Chains A and B, each alone.
Chain A
Amino acid sequence: MKKILEVQNLVKYFPVLGGVFSRPVGYVKAVDDVSFHIFEGETFGLVGESGSGKTTTGKTLLKLIEPTKGKIIFEGKDISKLSTSEMRSLRKSMQIIFQDPYGSLNPRLPVGEIIREPLLVHKIGTKKEQEERVVEIMKLVGLRPEYLHRYPHEFSGGQRQRIGIARSIVMNPKFIVADEPVSALDASVQAQVLNLLLELQQKLALTYLLVAHNLAVVRHISDRIGVMYLGKLVEVAETKELFSKPLHPYTQALLSAIPIPDPEVKKERILLQGDIPSPINPPSGCRFRTRCRYAKDICAEKEPSLVEVSDGHFVSCHFVKKGPVIEYTIK
């Protein structure tokens, strides 16, 4: 399979300004040395709790946030050093779907204009062709073309998210970062929008990076999943593998928190103690050690690296490396 995107040692630190002269007094280590790749046509899910850096990773890939260090290789080309104007032409093939369908649409522009803007900005086609394309895309995402002249405030959350999706696919991109595309919607609409994303992937040969915290959502549409904790990737595996054989203690804890809709089933729940530590001052060694029930001395001293333990299954844990010490299965 061809890699459409490769991320190498991506780092993003946000300075914490303080003092009289607004000098950086510390850094929020939002993304700290993350490497992964995405194959063409697949959906790569990125999960983790709030503050784990998954959204920052997604937005850094599109250079909406400038990376501090590291390489982002898109279709064989390193884009991490490109300037804003050099990035502009690449925007045709890399797009993003935002989390908040209320904030991501300009309230003063009618829907037709919102969807047409990418074509207008990149001067794709004549005015008539652009208008036809907008209508075509609106039909594709399940919006009635009569809504062309309506304004965002006249739509429901699900419809607005469809408008946002229409805007991101109107230029026929190859790669889309879906930043929590359904977390602001209610459950019934979530399924519709997710199915729309799957349908579009098939029709338009899209590659997704899906950022989400809802495991059910990620499981439903991802081919492979990366689990993030405090700016680090702790485990990467194919969806089936990850759900049946989670190796990292954090992934195990996450998965054990999924409710099972059967009152008869008794299962062990791994409860994590305390909160996620501050990304300004992360724990030494393994970042998860403060909440890990297997933590030993070595975890505080040495930082584990992401190692391939079986085909396509990467884990960053001292104990997993030496063979699967930790057995945990989920039915």
Chain B
Amino acid sequence: MANELTLEEKSKGRESYSYWGLVFKRLRKHSMAMIGFFLLLIIIAVVILGPLIWRVSPTQQPEGMEDILLSPCAAHPFGTDEYGRDILARFLYGGRVSIFIGFMAAISSVFFGTVIGLITGFFGGKIDTVLMRLVDIMLSIPTFPLLIALASVLGKGVWQIILVIFVFGWMGDARLVRSVVLSLKEEEFSEAAKAIGVSPLRIMFVHYLPNVMAPIIVSTTLGIGGAIVYEASISFLGFGVQAPLPSWGNMLQHAQDYIFTHQALVWYPGIAIFLTVLSFNFMGDGLRDAMDPRLYR
């Protein structure tokens, strides 16, 4: 009797879960994703709020030699670098730059890739052939050599790096979205939409886009992590963010000269990149598990 009552109560109080509601529920049970999520929250909070609290200039070089390569002390909790600049301030600012580049580059390439993927998948035919061959060509270009060439033409700044990562990053997403759209086109609801008289544009953005959101979000999350590593690699090679503006990548680059004498210089940006990328990947994996279509129907 008690059981029946609770069952009835259950069915009355049953919430209607939208797809995203279900994903969120499942994500909360995914411990790795939650670790990644909270780690990221902390990292982003530190990077955004840090410079507001620790009001030391990341670029100011003191005169004289006595402040160079200091060990951690009260005035400089992380010590100072080879020019005597405060490493904590550089670390916090560098994080802003690195994560900003990661976000912007990943989101812009996913955005562009999605539009291209929707168009090629939906219209097919010549448009599809031309754009997909362009994707093949772009993917066959070795990135780093071209990057070095581009950097010398465009100049080396934050926006240029974002542009470069974007130009070489959208192809995967275009292919991903195209493949999903191709399979959606064969679903009966596409034909139903056509039978109703829905315009192609509305089919693309109202019917297909929500259905490709799941892989897109996973791809964006993993892409941000990838873009941060990419930025670090470019900066490490000296073609990325230029001193005195710090980024985690160019902090690593400068630190390599002191790797045997002042290891801490390597550890701060290195561990920060490691943790940030790791937590983005954890979150991406968690999202992928939570949105797995095989768990539905």
Q: Which residues of A contact B (CB under 8 A)?
A: 59, 62, 64, 87-89, 91-92, 95-96, 98-100, 102-110, 117-118, 121-122, 149-151, 153-154, 164, 167-168
C-alpha gap A98/B194 in the complex (Å): 12
Q: Which residues of the partner chain A approach B261 to less than 8 Å between Cβ atoms?
A: none
C-alpha gap A102/B19 in the complex (Å): 16
Nearest Cβ in chain A — how far from B12, in angstroms?
A: 11
Instruction: Tell me the nearest residue of chain A to B211, going by C-beta.
Output: A108
Q: Which residues of the partner chain A approach B189 to less than 8 Å between Cβ atoms?
A: 103-106
Interface size class of B (residues with CB under 8 A): 20 to 34
Majority-rule SS of A interface residues: loop
| A91 with B196, Cβ < 8 A, contacts A98-B191, A108-B210, A151-B18 known | yes
C-alpha gap A108/B210 in the complex (Å): 6
Q: Which residues of the partner chain A approach B19 to less than 8 Å between Cβ atoms?
A: 107-108, 151, 153
Q: Which residues of B contact A (CB under 8 A)?
A: 16-19, 187-189, 191-199, 202, 206-207, 210-211, 213, 296-297
Nearest Cβ in chain A — how far from B26, in angstroms?
A: 14
Cβ B195 vs Cβ A153 within 8 A: no
Nearest Cβ in chain B — how far from A156, in angstroms?
A: 13
Q: Which residues of the partner chain B approach A87 to less than 8 Å between Cβ atoms?
A: 197
| A151 with B196, Cβ < 8 A, contacts A104-B188, A105-B189 known | no
C-alpha gap A67/B69 in the complex (Å): 80
C-alpha gap A87/B196 in the complex (Å): 10
Cβ B195 vs Cβ A95 within 8 A: yes
Cβ B195 vs Cβ A96 within 8 A: yes
Cβ B188 vs Cβ A121 within 8 A: no
| A121 with B211, Cβ < 8 A, contacts A107-B296, A151-B18, A154-B16 known | no
Nearest Cβ in chain B — how far from A233, in angstroms?
A: 24
Nearest Cβ in chain B — how far from A188, in angstroms?
A: 21
Partner of B197, one of A106, A108, A122, A153: A122
Q: Which residues of the partner chain A approach B198 to less than 8 Å between Cβ atoms?
A: 117, 121
Nearest Cβ in chain B — how far from A321, in angstroms?
A: 39
Q: Which residues of the partner chain B approach A109 to less than 8 Å between Cβ atoms?
A: 206-207, 210
Q: Which residues of the partner chain B approach A149 to less than 8 Å between Cβ atoms?
A: 16
Given pairs A106-B193, A109-B210, 17 additional interface contacts (CB within 8 A): A62-B195, A64-B191, A98-B191, A103-B189, A104-B192, A106-B207, A107-B296, A108-B19, A109-B206, A110-B18, A117-B193, A117-B198, A121-B196, A121-B198, A164-B192, A167-B196, A168-B195
10 example contacts (A-B, Cβ-Cβ < 8 A) are as follows A59-B191, A88-B197, A98-B191, A103-B189, A104-B188, A106-B189, A107-B211, A153-B19, A154-B17, A164-B192
| A153 with B188, Cβ < 8 A, contacts A108-B210, A121-B198 known | no
Nearest Cβ in chain A — how far from B122, in angstroms?
A: 14
Cβ B297 vs Cβ A153 within 8 A: yes
Cβ A98 vs Cβ B188 within 8 A: yes
C-alpha gap A78/B165 in the complex (Å): 55
Nearest Cβ in chain B — how far from A19, in angstroms?
A: 18
C-alpha gap A108/B207 in the complex (Å): 8
| A100 with B18, Cβ < 8 A, contacts A62-B195, A95-B195, A153-B297 known | no
Instruction: Tell me the nearest residue of chain A to B21, going by C-beta.
Output: A151
Of B18, B187, B195, the most chain A CB neighbours within 10 A belong to B195
C-alpha gap A308/B35 in the complex (Å): 76
C-alpha gap A95/B210 in the complex (Å): 25
Cβ B202 vs Cβ A121 within 8 A: yes
C-alpha gap A88/B207 in the complex (Å): 18
Cβ A117 vs Cβ B211 within 8 A: no
Q: Which residues of the partner chain A approach B213 to less than 8 Å between Cβ atoms?
A: 108
Nearest Cβ in chain B — how far from A167, in angstroms?
A: 7
| A150 with B195, Cβ < 8 A, contacts A100-B188, A108-B210 known | no
Instruction: Tell me the nearest residue of chain A to B14, going by C-beta.
Output: A154
C-alpha gap A99/B188 in the complex (Å): 9
Nearest Cβ in chain B — how far from A64, in angstroms?
A: 6
Cβ A98 vs Cβ B192 within 8 A: yes
Instruction: Tell me the nearest residue of chain B to A170, going by C-beta.
Output: B196
C-alpha gap A66/B196 in the complex (Å): 16
* 7 closest Cβ pairs, A-B complex: A91-B197, A103-B188, A108-B210, A104-B188, A88-B197, A106-B189, A150-B16
| A121 with B197, Cβ < 8 A, contacts A102-B297, A153-B297 known | yes
Instruction: Tell me the nearest residue of chain B to A105, going by C-beta.
Output: B189
Q: Which residues of the partner chain A approach B187 to less than 8 Å between Cβ atoms?
A: 103
C-alpha gap A289/B16 in the complex (Å): 57
C-alpha gap A159/B202 in the complex (Å): 26
C-alpha gap A153/B293 in the complex (Å): 12
Cβ B199 vs Cβ A121 within 8 A: yes
